[in-house]
Amino acid sequence: MHAGDDAITLHSGVTALPGVAERVAASLRSLGIRTVADLVRHLPIRYEQDLGEQTAEQARASAREDGVVGEMSARGMITAVRHIPGRRPRVEATLEDESGSVRLVWFNAPWIARRLRPGLRGVAQGKAKSRAGYVEMSNPRWRDEAPSEGDTPIAGRLRPVYAATEELSSLRIESFLKAALPHALPLIDDPVRAVIVARHGLPPLADAYRMVHLPADAAEAERGRARLAFDELLLLQLGLAMRRWQARHQERAVSLPRTEAIHQAIVDRFPFEFTPDQMAVCDEIAHDLAATAPMNRLVQGDVGSGKTAVALYAALLAIAHGHQAAIVAPTELLAEQHFRNVVALLRESRVRFRLVTGSLSARERAEANAALAGGQVDLAIGTHALLGEGVQFRSLALAVIDEQHRFGVEQRAALRAKGDGHMPHMLVMTATPIPRTLSLTLFGDLDVSSIRALPPGRQPIATRVMPRSRSAEVYAYARTRIDRGEQVYVVVPAVEESDQGLADVASHAAALEAGPFAGLTIGQMHGRLAPAERDAVMSAFKDGRTQVLVSTVVIEVGVDVPNATVMIVEHAERFGLAQLHQLRGRVGRGSKASLCVLIGDPTADDGERRLKAMASTTDGFAIAEEDLKLRGPGEFFGTRQSGLPPLRVADLTRDTALLLAARDEAQRAIDASPSLSDPVDERLRRKLMSTYGDALGLADVG
């Protein structure tokens, strides 16, 4: 039984709609659609232009002299289907209407033969030609005829295409929406103030939903989408602005003023001079640390730009005031390297430091926890183990997070809670430079500093892209570099043999040992090795006892071997752009000219674009922008890692103007009312708390 039409509200279950029986409702539930409101929020994934229909005879008559008919729509019944194998396999079908027939041809699409059968009625759309008296469409779009369509010819229109299921087509979902919208649209309450909507020339919310589901044309569909995208971005920017306000006005950190004596004592510890970029960032950090509002700063700099030195500068500034500092790295390998660098730098100082990783025994961990809580450790260096529940500090004044893209908002919140009633100052570092649009979203609660210049003496890295057919040349050249006393990294995608035919660590090392690298010592590294083994392999390579290191991407971040001058990446098309750039950054860390060779045969366009981008620039900031274009923001860091719900409508690669507008509006709103306490904003505040309250650690003061 369906409820009476008048009873349909936004909260009604979908079974209140005509044509939605329990089985259909189950299919809708699999798409996350339970209520009428859910259905209205189920937005089109794209639009297709429905072309005005022509009969076979009309199409033939409209053909030009060269046989071109142009784009057309034809409705009828499939009367024959043939699969024709060969060098260019194709599927042919005959579509008949009352005036004649149209031949449909698909190339390299064997799946279409499984969809079509004689007796099936439907609509084909695409480019058509007239050949020898009959009309042929190449690679047309096909859709089965919806029961509601009957024999009414389709007029030309923009048709929304929805994410659907096997049992439930996009057309049926569209028919449910057409039934729901007259009831739903008048009930939609706009949570955003009308003055804000008007300021940006956007339509009211109910109009926006009508425009995306029933657009008059492409421009109207885009206007509706822009309004929904703006709402999404506004909500996120409100959350970030509220988080910034609370951090600055409600949270207290210890003040760590920098004196000239402290500054001199710290820089004298380093065996090199800071670059102007590094020093400028240290000045920004020192300015933040002197305040009682907790620092929340992101330092982004390319691979090898010297971010670690800046982090140590900040840590020593906190320690000089009698407080503790912690540096958290994403992997044990990187934590261990930071620890070795600290040991070398602070060997003769009074600073007490400790390494805390997941591989400590229960006894060692208990000792470390006691030392941190008792204040016997000034500088803790470790992995996520430092974020564990049992870890407490006596006086944590500064927390440094390395490789920000591996840590989400929640991990930052966990570190904040480690203070002694005070909030620790927070310094976040990334060697994956962040495109501006992303830094305004994922890191909108942070101030951003950039180190663009590399330290003096660093050689630029040459990059070459080579097909697999020339890999023997690549290894022969690498051998000449090894014979000159240099070292080589070889990165492969797999840990062990697989049926995908990818190079794996053990087999590839064995092949190199038997071939171009005969007589050399080759190390093997991957994430499944125990930390002690990994340490031994890395130490042997760092000390020059092995000339070649065959590894998976476990070496992607942080490991520093100045004598390694050649990086060879096998199956390079399988790696992401940021990953390839990180791998390239493992060489060029000394004074010798370095080379990165990407071996691969990309079959897809984006694989080719990635390799082209790598060959054209070594600028990590340019690489990051290209990576965002290629992968889209959802994957750039992975929303799981950011800890924030994903954006469903907004597209950061094209909605920069909307993002900046949303940021301005959010800042204006929070400046006027830090907790959005005006009754006019009540619904907006509730929505904000339910969407971002937990992820951003917002104190709900409403």
DSSP SS3 for 152: coil
In terms of domains, do 534 and 420 share one?
no
The residue-averaged pLDDT of 689-696 equals 84
pTM of the model: 0.67
Q: Which of 178-192, 556-570, 586-600 has the weakest average pLDDT? A: 556-570
In terms of domains, do 438 and 511 share one?
no
In terms of domains, do 437 and 501 share one?
no
286-344 per-position pLDDT tens digit: 999 999 999 989 898 877 788 889 999 999 999 999 999 999 988 787 888 889 889 88
Choice between 152 and 337, residue whose per-residue pLDDT is larger: 337
245-276 per-position pLDDT tens digit: 888 888 889 999 999 999 999 999 998 899 99
The per-residue pLDDT for 193 is 95
Contacts of 531-538 with C-beta under 8 Å, sequence gap 24+, read 531/332, 531/336, 531/357, 531/359, 532/359, 534/332, 534/333, 535/336, 538/333
Choice between 131 and 14, residue whose per-residue pLDDT is larger: 14
Distant-in-sequence, close-in-space partners of 82: CB < 8 Å, separation ≥ 6: 91, 92, 93
pLDDT above 90 for 654 = no
Residue where one domain finishes, among candidates 597, 617, 637: 617
CATH number of domain containing 297: 3.40.50.300
pLDDT above 60 for 5 = no
The per-residue pLDDT for 358 is 84
pLDDT above 50 for 637 = no
In terms of domains, do 131 and 171 share one?
no
pLDDT above 60 for 635 = no
pLDDT above 60 for 557 = no
Q: What whole-number distance in Å separates Cα of residue 557 and Cα of residue 563?
A: 17
In terms of domains, do 141 and 182 share one?
no
In terms of domains, do 373 and 280 share one?
yes
The per-residue pLDDT for 501 is 67
The per-residue pLDDT for 673 is 94
Give the tokens for residue 592: 């010798």
In terms of domains, do 466 and 377 share one?
no
Work out the pLDDT band at 590, boundaries 50, 70, 90: confident
Is residue 648 in a domain? no
Work out the pLDDT band at 1, boundaries 50, 70, 90: very low
The residue-averaged pLDDT of 129-151 equals 77
In terms of domains, do 365 and 486 share one?
no
Residue where one domain finishes, among candidates 418, 451, 484: 451
pLDDT above 80 for 432 = no
The per-residue pLDDT for 363 is 92
Counting the structural domains of the chain, the total is 4
pLDDT above 60 for 497 = yes
In terms of domains, do 365 and 304 share one?
yes
pLDDT above 90 for 69 = no
Residue where one domain finishes, among candidates 587, 617, 647: 617
pLDDT above 60 for 633 = no
In terms of domains, do 279 and 327 share one?
yes
**DSSP codes of every residue in 604-655:** SHHHHHHHHHHHH---HHHHHHHHHHHH-HHHHTTHHHHTSPPPSS--TTT-
Is residue 133 in a domain? yes
49 has which bridge partners? 158
Domain, as residue range, for 3? 1-47+163-187
